[in-house]
Amino acid sequence: MDLSVELFGNLLINPIFTASGCFACGREAAAYQDLKAWGGLVSTAITREKRLGNPGPRVCETASGLLNSVGLQNPGIDYFLMYDLPFMLEETNTTIVNVAGSVTEDYVYLCEKLDGTDIFAIELNLSCPNVKHGGMAIGTHYDLLESTVAACRNVSSKPLIAKLTPNITDITEAAKAAEAGGADAISLVNTFLGMAIDLKTRRPVLKNNTGGLSGPCIKPLALRMVADVYRSVSIPVIGLGGITSGKDVLEFMLAGASAVQVGSANFAHPHIIDSLRKEMEQEMRELEISSLDAWIGSLNYWKS
């Protein structure tokens, strides 16, 4: 089966990427699987300076999903460029670098540093719910979202992917703001803000009190947002949120996603991307889909 898709004028071997934060920069995963069998790898969020992240506990399993409050732990852009990026470029077919900051200037600085590299694209993390400044604070204000993307557009020739938060009244307005600022694609959704409570201590389980909820429980919400955004902008959409099967991938693509990212499922099944690819091929045979181009965005809505 032909699983290839086109994104930013480039042909990808398949549409399945890892989501940011799941495999750091891929070194651990490369020890036991071929990263070039993936559509691509998205780095953990990279910031200007080294970040230690939030204090623990910062991960909590829930009934149908995962709460995390890692807090963007990473080695900083200079270390990343020297040690991690060369590895990613060598070991993966498609490298996307996720960047995060507290203010617009941080994103601009990071985009400038990455502009001369051979990466495929930059993903602007405008949606992290686990930091006090930046991230979701930018993504929930449309004017600031647009101006931040525009400032990055001015200094970077790389494709820019705006990663949006679902913790917002109207996801389509945020997507339109990102497109107006010059984004080349939209990725959604990031995690939903949630909480878990320990009855014995009468405290939240996470030391940060709240965290981002991901996993199968958010799939219907993410799927609806991908469908809404696909119909609201003219740039590609990358879908993520609760994907655990090849059927899920095809559902997101039917709703309008040109590619997908897989997050929490990697922690339960580290080889899941290979499984998803095989499951997609089987589903495509049963549905008599010869290629994905005509499938993307072909959802038939009921007439109201």
Residues with catalytic roles: 128
The residues with which 123 forms a beta bridge, in sequence order, are 98, 161
- The angle, 0 to 180 degrees and rounded to 10, between the axes of the packed helices 219-230 and 246-255 is 30
Name the residue among 236, 246, 230, 250 with its Cα closest to residue 291: 250
CA–CA distance, 79 with 97 (Å, rounded to integer)? 14
Q: Are 54 and 130 in contact (CB under 8 A)?
A: yes
Q: Which long-range contacts (CB under 8 A, 24 or more apart) does 194-202 make?
A: 194/62, 194/67, 195/67, 196/60, 196/62, 196/67
The residues with which 51 forms a beta bridge, in sequence order, are 74
3-state secondary structure of 129: coil
